Structure 1
Amino acid sequence: MNNSIKQWPEQERPRERLLQQGAESLSDAELLAIFLRSGSKQHSAVELARLLIQHFGGLNPVFDSSLEDLCQFHGIGDTKYSQLMAVKELGRRYLKHHLYQGMDLSRSDLIRDYLRYELIGETQEVFAVLCLDSQLRKLDFKKMFFGSINYCNVSINQVLRYAIQKQATYIVIAHNHPKGFAKPSREDYDLTQQILKACELVEIRLLDHIIIATEQSYSFTEHGLLKSMTTMPK
């Protein structure tokens, strides 16, 4: 049996479908297969991509995996690993190019994508702050506090000093859950409420608190939790 994608009908090949229908028409496995270019004796590139995504639990964990873990799969070696890491870095740089100082961040999806690229590869919990001016343009971004796999100690005073130093009108705070879901903990709610109240005292507006997990993200603003933080939703 020949597993080569070249033997597939042209209209079913990922590269041809991408050119005809656009990248959004392809599945994660098909997009990954285009970068892999070839599979193994046992599997086509698409089949290999599906195996990788199933094994690691998603597309993002594939890109975050080590060379040792990926090379357990036939068809993956130093060359393909280097290609995957290059693709990951290109994606990060492409997004950052649109989010340099002075760029408009009024679109919440851009902020979320930017924070995902900054935090998704971290193996420990990281707390970060994004500073924006009055026109919602990026002033600065900083990973401020680093913790363990599920906890990070945050100094609210340092957060405020940083925002004031950058002359921020708005800030977005974010942290990651390296080994879990994006659902906030009781501590996350309490910290957000404390920072919200502290920001009001110095006339800086907290726009959002975003939690980044492997395949999910959580926005406090989208859940209506920055206006009233008195109750924790179930």
Structure 2
Amino acid sequence: MPGGTEGQPDAKPHWQGHRERLRGKLLKRGAGALEDYEVLEVILMAFIPRRDVKPIAKALMARFGSLSGILAAPGADLVKVEGIGETVAAYLKAIAELQSRASREEISKRPAISSWSALIDYVRTELQHEKREQFRVLFLDRKNQLIADEVMGHGTVDHAPVYPREIARRALELQASSLILVHNHPSGDTTPSRADIDMTREIIDVLDPFDITVHDHLIAGTGGVTSFRSSGLI
């Protein structure tokens, strides 16, 4: 007969005991005691109730390289990993959106330039894994609080078209007093190019007659975030 010996209950699946141990580790020692793949396991346990999720978590880490890479991955790429269906992919994308909105809240509550670490975290979260270059502008009011974060240009793997006069027009529409320029380098190298430097200067010159300040230009990539101001380029 299937299961254990006659008169004895079936043994629990091995992964069920692993789940209980992992939950206990989380509750007793805190999430910081877990490895990245174990944090991912805990999440997957809620979405995949009757399967060993450890191999799935490790497969996701192997394919996308990091937790941030997993959350940034398109749903169409997530479902290519064995064990990840459309429903689980949708849940992971919802978690990514929660992370993005929470980061945006952090920089919306306080003046952006006085909560610099939160701003850098937000920029990194939003752009470090983008496959194409994207140019965004953070429009700020007179108190340096965020009015809007808008994409002003989509591009290829190494170029995004930017129109300084369009940025000026939008800043005036929003009654912005200052702004922060943001774009990504899909290569991962966040070193500003000569084109990046020249374009930044052109935007500053176009905004100057309107008394609109460019506080900084941030370049994000898998290598981190580079600040023009900190680099002496503004």
Instruction: Indicate whether the TM-score tops 0.5.
Output: yes
Give the secondary structure class of the aligned counterpart of 1:4: helix
Tell me by how many angstroms 1:9 deviates: 8.6
Contact conserved, 1:209 with 1:219, CA < 8 A, in 2? yes
Out of 124, 144, 162, the residue aligned to residue 132 of structure 2 is 124
Are 1:74 and 2:86 counterparts? Answer: no
Tell me by how many angstroms 1:197 deviates: 4.1
Tell me by how many angstroms 1:155 deviates: 1.5
The 10-residue stretch of structure 1 (195-204 or 25-34) with the greater mean CA deviation from structure 2: 195-204
After superposition, the C-alpha distances for 1:183-208 in whole angstroms (9 at most, x for unaligned) are 32221122223333444443322211
After superposition, the C-alpha distances for 1:128-170 in whole angstroms (9 at most, x for unaligned) are 1111123221122211122222111211122222223322222
Contact conserved, 2:176 with 2:212, CA < 8 A, in 1? yes
Question: Aligned partners of 1:212, 1:60: CA distance in 2, in Å?
Answer: 14
Aligned residue in 2 for 1:104? 111
Question: Aligned partners of 2:132, 2:69: CA distance in 1, in Å?
Answer: 15
After superposition, the C-alpha distances for 1:62-84 in whole angstroms (9 at most, x for unaligned) are 22334453334332223322221
Q: TM-score, normalised to structure 1's length?
A: 0.76
Closer, same or farther in 2 for the Cα pair 1:132/1:222, shift >3 Å?
same
Out of 172, 176, 179, the residue aligned to residue 168 of structure 1 is 176
AA aligned opposite 2:149: F
Question: Aligned partners of 2:160, 2:168: CA distance in 1, in Å?
Answer: 17
Out of 177, 188, 192, the residue aligned to residue 200 of structure 2 is 192
Aligned residue in 1 for 2:96? 88
Q: Tell me how many residue pairs correspond in the alignment.
A: 219
What is the CA RMSD across the aligned residues, in angstroms?
3.0
Question: Aligned partners of 2:98, 2:71: CA distance in 1, in Å?
Answer: 12
AA aligned opposite 1:31: V
Q: Which runs of 5+ in 1 are unaligned?
A: 227-234
Are 1:31 and 2:39 counterparts? Answer: yes
Give the secondary structure class of the aligned counterpart of 2:168: helix
Aligned residue in 2 for 1:60? 68
Contact conserved, 1:192 with 1:209, CA < 8 A, in 2? yes
The 10-residue stretch of structure 1 (83-92 or 121-130) with the greater mean CA deviation from structure 2: 121-130
Q: TM-score, normalised to structure 2's length?
A: 0.76
Question: Aligned partners of 1:217, 1:39: CA distance in 2, in Å?
Answer: 38
The 10-residue stretch of structure 1 (87-96 or 150-159) with the greater mean CA deviation from structure 2: 87-96
Q: Which runs of 5+ in 2 are unaligned?
A: 1-12
Closer, same or farther in 2 for the Cα pair 1:207/1:57, shift >3 Å?
same
Contact conserved, 2:107 with 2:115, CA < 8 A, in 1? no
Contact conserved, 1:35 with 1:83, CA < 8 A, in 2? no
Question: Aligned partners of 2:81, 2:141: CA distance in 1, in Å?
Answer: 47
AA aligned opposite 2:175: Q
Q: Equivalent pairs: percent with the same residue?
A: 31
Question: Aligned partners of 2:50, 2:190: CA distance in 1, in Å?
Answer: 35
Contact conserved, 2:68 with 2:125, CA < 8 A, in 1? no
Question: Aligned partners of 2:37, 2:26: CA distance in 1, in Å?
Answer: 13
Question: Aligned partners of 1:32, 1:9: CA distance in 2, in Å?
Answer: 15
Tell me by how many angstroms 1:46 deviates: 4.1
